[in-house]
Chain A
Amino acid sequence: MNDHSWFRLLVRLFGLYLLLAYAPELVMQFLRPLAFPEGYYTSMPTPQFIVFFVMPLVASVLPVVFGAYLFFRGNKLIRWCMRDIIGHCPTCGYDLRGNMQANCPECGCENPYRGKFAVSKPGGLSADASNTVSSG
């Protein structure tokens, strides 16, 4: 899993970028009604209020929330992005799930998932038996 740490780092950096880029805009959206109170609080909800306060607010809230999620939590999204990489050979992409061999049958590189997906497959074949079938 440490091989993909660069991906985690870049996702976190992107979250930080979203926070830094859009959080000031979000603060400005809250400060704007304080600077021009008569334009916002006279007759809510007017189209002006909705389009020129709520819409920019939404447009700046969403990136900030998403950036905060990526920066502080984000593990679920990162796991989802790696959903079909885990279990495959990192070099050639060969499906190594259930493969008990020390090396990838496709490219010969070391099998990092050896024994980690040793579950019996449907049809009564154990992991070893299915390996024999697939590699043979």
Chain B
Amino acid sequence: MKHAAPAEGVFVLPRGKGFSFAQRVLAVRLFALILGTILLAWFFNQVANRDPESVATTNEEVLYSSQGVIHTFFLAFGQSLGNLSWTDVVQLLTYLTVALVMIFGLFMPALKLDRLIRRKHRS
């Protein structure tokens, strides 16, 4: 969408070139939606794709089988998280933070978002 042309006879102050208000806000929201979704999906994939050998021994399987499904899930999930290296943790937390920032960025009011985008262009 291009800038809407001003009506005939209306004097318009020059406001610079570039994208319109709606374009800026929608583009940033679309970017946040895409990046947030992809990073969240990537995060869950990374957590799920852990080394299967080190999750539980056979004895632990018997132990876990005797407990509830929910309890077993959190134990197993904690163990899979425990298999992450420090590098993995830093990477995962970084991307998770970016994903959450993106998702919460969708809730920002349009005018505030637009001011944020255009702040560096102001004198």
Contacts and interface: CB of A to CB of B under 8 A. Distances in A.
Contact of B61 (A47, A62, A88): A47
Interface in A19-72: 22, 43, 45-48, 50-52, 54-56, 58-60, 62-63, 66
A46 B65 contact: yes
Contact of B30 (A11, A45, A58, A109): A11
A81 B50 CA distance: 36
A67 to B, nearest CB: 9
A48 B65 CA distance: 11
B116 interface: no
B22 A3 contact: yes
Interface residues of A, number: 43
A107 B12 contact: yes
A85 B76 contact: no
Interface class of chain B by DSSP: helix
B48 interface: yes
A9 to B, nearest CB: 10
A75 interface: no
B41 interface: yes
A82 B25 CA distance: 9
Contacts of B114: 93
B77 A109 contact: no
A50 B76 contact: yes
Interface of B: 1, 3-7, 10-13, 15, 20-22, 25-26, 29-30, 33-34, 37, 41, 44-45, 47-50, 52, 55-56, 60-61, 64-65, 69, 72-73, 75-77, 79-80, 106, 109-111, 114
